[in-house]
Amino acid sequence: MATTTTTVPSAGPVVGSRSFLSRLREGDEIARLITFLFAASVVLVTLLLVFELWQGSVLARHKFGLNFFFTRVWDPIFDQFGALPFIYGTVLTSAVALAIAVPLGIGAAIFLAELAPQKISDTLQFFIDLLAAVPSVIYGLLGVFIVIPLMRQYIQPALKSTLGFLPLFQGPAYGVGFLTAGIVLAIMVIPYIISVSREVLLSVPRDQREAALALGATRWESTWKVVVPFARNGIMGSIFLALARALGETMAVTMVIGNTPTISASLFSPGYSIAAVIANEFTEATGDLYLQALIELGLVLFLLTFILNGLARLMIVATSQKGGGMGHA
Amino acid sequence: MKRIAGWILAALVLAGVAWAQSALLINGAGATFPYPMYSKWFDEYHKKNANLQINYQSIGSGGGIKQVTEGTVDFGASDGPMNDDQLKAFQDKHGFGILHFPTVLGADVPTYNIPGVTGELNFTPEALAGVFLGKVTKWNDPLIASANKGVNLPANDIVVVHRSDGSGTTYIWTDYLSKISEEWKNKVGKGTSVNWPVGLGGKGNEGVAGLVKQTPNAFGYVELIYAIQNNMPYGRVKNSSGTFIKANLESVTAAAAGASKNMPDDFRVSITDAPGKTAYPISSFTWLLVPAKFSDAGKRDAIKGFVSWMLADGQNYAEALSYAKLPKEVVAKEKLALANVQ
Amino acid sequence: MTSSLRWRKFVSGFMLTMTGVCAVVAVSVLFLILGYLVYHGGTSIGWNFFTKLPAPVGETGGGMANAILGSAKLLMLASLFGVPIGFFGAIYLAEFSGGTIAFVVRYAADLLNGVPSIVIGIFAYSLVVLPFKHFSTLAGGFALGLMMIPITLRSTEEFLRAVPGALREGAMALGASKSRMIATVIVPAAYRGILTAILLAFARVAGETAPLLFTAFGNRFWSPGWNQPTASLPVMIFTYAIAPYEDWHRQAWAAGLVLLGLILVVNIVARGILARGIAVPRS
């Protein structure tokens, strides 16, 4: 009756010759339609959001044009607005956050999925999920009370004395700055990486591991060279979640980044991010151009996310091998 | 089990819907600075009028102005008066105007953290402008040292701290600096958010206070209440009469009294650098923004009733919370102006 | 044992220990946070906290009962709105769609995820508050629901795809239609992961402040129904934390602790009651 061609193991659409009527009767067409509507609504909402941002920033866009991307000045009194320091801060803090959170997160996920006995793994996962529930305001406050003093008194001086020849670690150590914001962000995004990666690792079929071990691999080799690549796409998905969270975080970042629109090579320097400046100034902004400049910053962040996501996806496609488990970008 | 979940869901839905509301709910939005005072007032007033609930949320002065203009709240509150453009926008949208009613007074104080210095410092207007313009960079600069003879000021770099979020506190500070420094006025200007020449940005009063407390050689500005409640050291500022005044409830009220002689009828006035021997120069009103007309008589009477109470009994609650009360000249004027709300 | 094997074994032991260290670091951060909250806010938690309305400064005996109820209502609305979209959308992506559409939807979800929460709040404000000229619980639920969609969608899709092909083929070999296969075989097999995704999205929005400032607004009193402004725990934390008063600071910490506690309870209940036996044994 049905000649279906499913490819192992990806789950693509069933291309077959079952008649339309029989599919309809079985409810498949309806299911497809309904789920399609839900999926489409996601795209629609996103487009609507971009549209609103576009509309809401019309004055600013006309006044500044492309210069908005390259101007360093942000002056609400004299109506001069430029996005460059905020773009820099957003990208830098997210990069620092991921640089810390990805190795830590994947490492922890591997531990929880491969090594820990089930009960311990489940319990620890429980607690790590709680990290995702901590309000961003509390993260900000903890950043102020714990991380900033730690940075100013211990970590920044230590980095300066050991790695101070690098431009990354020069300049006065205030405690606030790009590095501090990156660290706080890392803590905030780690639960997403651990949680999703662990689940994906757990769902890798047992025979993959056993095959590797049977061929003489050590435990680590079987994990790192077989299981993790199999779960690659899921892990990358979790990193996308983490990246998005880091790019858009407002409250916590603004409390620890120093809120100074500066571009500096040093991680110790205070800086600013797009989300932070919007959060700081939107409620008080009066005057159409000012408000619209802030909304244009929101649009810029959207563009930034778009580009970063695209680059990341290109990187995945470029480095993916065949047989990498669940295949999609 | 699915049924249990279903029942719980139904119960929650009903709980949300079936609650009857008999009290009159009035919503207001605006400045964060007076939030503790307003919450005390609205609570006390609610005790006296159980059928009236005034819900005030501090989303920022700009937010208050915006929302009252949009009509999503019944009244607004702001640390800085609405400017002419904003008044016009309200008028255009509603067909009638909006009135300002000062409620309490606030002040900004210069706070610092200098290793080895424990006493109170004196600051001249020139010193303050110089520091925040980035021209006075060291603590032992002559502009600061000359007013503080006898104090051993170190030759350390000053770490300036200012507000990162738009706020009335910044508005007061920059308004004062614009008045006493031509250079500041031309280069930076006054507003809730400005392009600071130097310094780190802290979020909120507590952000600035936190940074100043933690960073050696820091120099920032915070609301008076904040400094009092958190036992922070702050300096004296030289007023227009030449005296170094420390900010406290009396000196702030004195600033308002000094300015009340020339107070415009709509109360939209800046009282920084006010005349008066005992006046503290960096003081300011905070205002309630009340539409001139209400279509709902119940809401109108409720708000008018509250403002009358606020001008009388309400003022007595201010000092306990470290807010400075209005001088009697201003109170008298406001009582008259209240009749304009229809 | 050859030296190469010895080396590989050493590397294996070392790397696996490092992963343990990573896990320990991650978990200890959480305990540090919890400890801090308990230490600073623990004294403010009591019967009053859960039953009384907020009191003005200087008065003891106030609580955050309205904020707790408000958060519960908001989160319920958010889940009702965000979870079905994420869930069914993921089913479409994993089971029905071709490559291009799936790519576009995934991209859109990632973009939506990256939008700062305050921009989502502004967006919800212009859609749901401005036309009706008042703040409401509905608007807040809408804003939070929007934020739940991407996490739910992306993660659920991953877990649906992770279901082994053998299960699908088995179902189809038995003659099941696509929708029946999805409903009775695939979704149950991916249940645990999907639940994780939903709870993660839930936890994320439970602590968000910025989107609520312009939608649910805030309320010192009880908020009847769904059409009035309502208090919520994150907004209370924010308001109290930035105030000058030490007593309010303690209450802010306490509220943070209570929020975490509530999420913990939801997690336990959800995993305990709703997650029944899994079809696929853990490998």
Q: Give one DSSP letter per residue of A26-49, joined into a string.
A: TTHHHHHHHHHHHHHHHHHHHHHH
> Phi/psi class of residue A254: alpha, beta or left (left: φ > 0; alpha: ψ in -120 to 50)?
alpha
Q: Strand pairing of B244-245 and B236-238? A: antiparallel
Amino acid at B163: R
Assess if residue A195 is contained within a domain. Answer: yes
Sign of CA dihedral B181, B183, B188, B189: positive
Domain boundaries, chain C: 65-276
Assess if residue A328 is contained within a domain. Answer: no
Of C239 and B18, the structure prediction assigns the larger pLDDT to C239
Residues A169 and A233 in one domain: yes
Note the pLDDT of residue A325: 46
Assess if residue A71 is contained within a domain. Answer: yes
Interface of B with A (CB under 8 A): 59-63, 65-66, 83, 85-86, 159, 164-167, 188-196, 199-203, 207, 210-211, 214-215
Q: Write out chain B residues lying below 8 Å of C219, CB-based.
A: 55, 57
Q: Write out chain C residues lying below 8 Å of A47, CB-based.
A: 108
Residues A99 and A228 in one domain: yes
Note the pLDDT of residue C36: 87
Interval A53-67: pLDDT, tens: 999 888 888 888 888
* Structural domain count of chain A: 2
Q: Which residue of C has its CA nearest to A325?
A: C162
Mutate to test the interface with A, among C158, C182, C185, C215 (most CBs of A within 10 A): C158
State whether C221 and B55 contact (CB < 8 Å): yes
Which residue, chain included where needed, has tokens 């300011």?
B284
Residues A253 and A280 in one domain: yes
State whether A104 and C26 contact (CB < 8 Å): yes
Note the pLDDT of residue A1: 42
State whether A31 and C178 contact (CB < 8 Å): yes
Interface pTM (ipTM) of the complex?
0.84
Question: pLDDT at residue A45 above 90?
Answer: yes
Of B188 and B18, the structure prediction assigns the larger pLDDT to B188
Question: pLDDT at residue A233 above 50?
Answer: yes
Mean pLDDT of B10-39: 74
Question: pLDDT at residue B101 above 60?
Answer: yes
Among B212, B209, B216, which residue's Cα sits nearest to residue B115? B216
Question: pLDDT at residue A14 above 80?
Answer: no
Residues A232 and A273 in one domain: yes
Q: Where are the beta strands (DSSP E) in chain A?
A: 74-75, 80-81
Mean pLDDT of B193-206: 88
Mean pLDDT of B72-95: 91
Residues A24 and A153 in one domain: no
Residues A42 and A99 in one domain: no
Helix axes A28-56, C117-124, angle to 10 degrees: 100
Assess if residue A5 is contained within a domain. Answer: no
Assess if residue A138 is contained within a domain. Answer: yes
What backbone phi and psi angles, to 5 degrees, belong to A9? -100, 5
Residues A119 and A250 in one domain: yes
Among A194, A225, A189, A23, which residue's Cα sits nearest to residue A99? A189
Interval C79-112: pLDDT, tens: 999 999 999 999 999 888 778 888 899 999 988 9
Question: pLDDT at residue C1 above 70?
Answer: no
- Residue pairs spanning A and C at CB distance below 8 A: 346
- Which parts of B197-286 fold into alpha helices (H)? 204-214, 224-229, 249-260
Note the pLDDT of residue A2: 44
Note the pLDDT of residue B204: 82
Contact status, residue B73 vs residue A294, Cβ threshold 8 Å: no
Flag whether residue A42 sits within 8 Å of chain C, measured between CB atoms: yes
Q: Which of A107-111, B272-276, C204-208 has the highest mean pLDDT?
A: A107-111
State whether B215 and A74 contact (CB < 8 Å): no
Assess if residue A61 is contained within a domain. Answer: no
State whether B36 and C57 contact (CB < 8 Å): yes
Residues A37 and A110 in one domain: no
Assess if residue A329 is contained within a domain. Answer: no
Q: Write out chain C residues lying below 8 Å of B44, CB-based.
A: 56
Nearest to C221 among B53, B71, B230 (CB): B53
Flag whether residue C246 sits within 8 Å of chain B, measured between CB atoms: yes
CA dist C63 and C47 (Å) reads: 8
Q: Which domain holds residue A20?
A: 12-56
Note the pLDDT of residue A65: 87
CA dist A316 and A309 (Å) reads: 11
Residues A51 and A71 in one domain: no
Q: Write out chain A residues lying below 8 Å of B200, CB-based.
A: 174, 176, 258-260, 270
Which residue, chain included where needed, has tokens 């805030």?
C218
Structure tokens at A173: 């150590």
pLDDT class for C193, splitting at 50, 70, 90?
confident
Q: Which of A157-171, A262-276, C13-27 has the lowest mean pLDDT?
A: A157-171
Contact partners for chain A, using 3 or more CB pairs closer than 8 A, are: B, C
pLDDT class for A322, splitting at 50, 70, 90?
very low
Residues A128 and A177 in one domain: yes
Q: Where are the beta strands (DSSP E) in A8-95?
A: 74-75, 80-81
CB contact set of B61 (below 8 Å; sequence gap of 6+) = A284, B30, B31, B32, B77, B78, B79, B80, B166, B167, B168, B171, B192
pLDDT class for C277, splitting at 50, 70, 90?
very low
State whether B206 and C244 contact (CB < 8 Å): yes
CB contact set of A74 (below 8 Å; sequence gap of 6+) = A80, A81, A82, A85, A86, A261, A277, B195
Residues A131 and A188 in one domain: yes
Mutate to test the interface with B, among A284, A288, A292, A294 (most CBs of B within 10 A): A284
pLDDT class for C276, splitting at 50, 70, 90?
low
Average pLDDT, chain C: 86
Mean pLDDT of B237-242: 92
Note the pLDDT of residue B187: 92
Question: pLDDT at residue B59 above 50?
Answer: yes
Please give, rounded to a whole number of angstroms, the shortest distance from the CA of A55 to a CA of chain C.
12
Give the bridge partners for B110, in sequence order: B221
Interval A182-212: pLDDT, tens: 999 999 999 889 988 998 898 888 888 889 8
Contact status, residue A275 vs residue A264, Cβ threshold 8 Å: no
Residues A40 and A155 in one domain: no
CATH of the domain spanning C65-276, picked from 2.40.50.140, 1.10.10.10, 3.30.70.260, 1.10.3720.10: 1.10.3720.10
State whether B63 and A174 contact (CB < 8 Å): no
- Cis bond upstream, residue B81 (ω within 30): no
Assess if residue A137 is contained within a domain. Answer: yes
Nearest to A284 among B159, B193, B215 (CB): B193
Interval C28-53: pLDDT, tens: 988 888 888 888 888 878 888 888 88
Average pLDDT, chain A: 84
Q: Write out chain A residues lying below 8 Å of C163, CB-based.
A: 11, 203
Note the pLDDT of residue A328: 47
- pTM for the model: 0.84
CA dist B102 and A170 (Å) reads: 49
B30 membership: H or E segment, kind and range: strand B24-30
CA dist C214 and C209 (Å) reads: 10
Contact status, residue B193 vs residue A284, Cβ threshold 8 Å: yes
pLDDT class for C61, splitting at 50, 70, 90?
confident
